[in-house]
């Protein structure tokens, strides 16, 4: 039985991969329960439909976008399952479609799973960009009720 639940935010980026590796190298114990949380962005129809709204979106285009989105989420899950193979007997996956912001969804996953800790990578935004655009890791740091480890490389 797991004594500690750790939520690890993953998105396919090098920084998320590095944070996951760091977790396994420095923190993981067999008694830990691990929840990999992925908050995929909603599909961008503009990329498939020329970018400008010119009327109703054809159903075939919408179906194609949805299927490609599902395939990319499945591919990401398979990537992380392979990365965890041998490290975990069973990985509990939580995949949330981003309705709000990724930060809000990560906090929700941590609360739902009664997490004891959150581990995530940082995109490494500069001070000005982070101030203007916001930062998922900043949001999680300021709103989490449990300790947060933000892995970053310089």
Is the pLDDT at 91 greater than 80? The verdict is no
Q: How confident is the model at residue 35 (pLDDT cuts 50, 70, 90)?
A: confident
Is the pLDDT at 144 greater than 90? The verdict is yes
Q: What percent of the chain has pLDDT over 70?
A: 73
Residues in the chain: 154
**Between 84 and 117, whose confidence is greater?**
117
**Between 136 and 147, whose confidence is greater?**
147
Which pLDDT score is estimated for 11? 86
C-beta of residue 7 within 8 angstroms of C-beta of residue 107: no
4-42+56-151, which class in CATH? alpha beta
Name the residue among 118, 137, 110 with its Cα closest to residue 20.
118
Highest mean pLDDT among 11-15, 39-43, 81-85, 113-117: 113-117
Q: How confident is the model at residue 62 (pLDDT cuts 50, 70, 90)?
A: confident
Structure tokens at 41: 């962005």
Question: What are the φ and ψ backbone dihedral angles of 27, each rounded to 5 degrees?
Answer: -125, -40
Domain ranges of the chain: 4-42+56-151
Q: What is the distance between the alpha carbons of residues 125 and 150, in angstroms, rounded to a whole number?
A: 13
């Amino acid at each position: 039985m797991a004594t500690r639940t750790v939520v690890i935010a993953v998105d396919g980026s090098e920084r998320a991969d590095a944070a996951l590796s760091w977790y396994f190298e420095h923190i993981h114990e067999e008694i830990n329960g691990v929840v990999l949380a992925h908050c995929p962005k909603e599909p961008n129809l503009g990329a498939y439909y020329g970018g400008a709204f010119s009327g109703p979106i054809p159903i075939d285009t919408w179906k194609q976008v949805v299927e490609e989105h599902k395939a990319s989420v499945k591919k990401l899950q398979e990537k992380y399952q392979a990365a965890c193979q041998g490290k975990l007997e069973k990985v509990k996956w939580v995949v949330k479609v981003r309705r709000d912001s990724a930060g809000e969804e990560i906090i929700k996953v941590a609360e739902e799973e009664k997490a004891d800790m959150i581990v995530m990578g940082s995109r490494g935004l500069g001070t000005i960009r982070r101030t203007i655009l916001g930062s998922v890791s900043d949001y999680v740091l300021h709103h989490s009720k449990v300790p947060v480890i933000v892995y970053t490389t310089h």
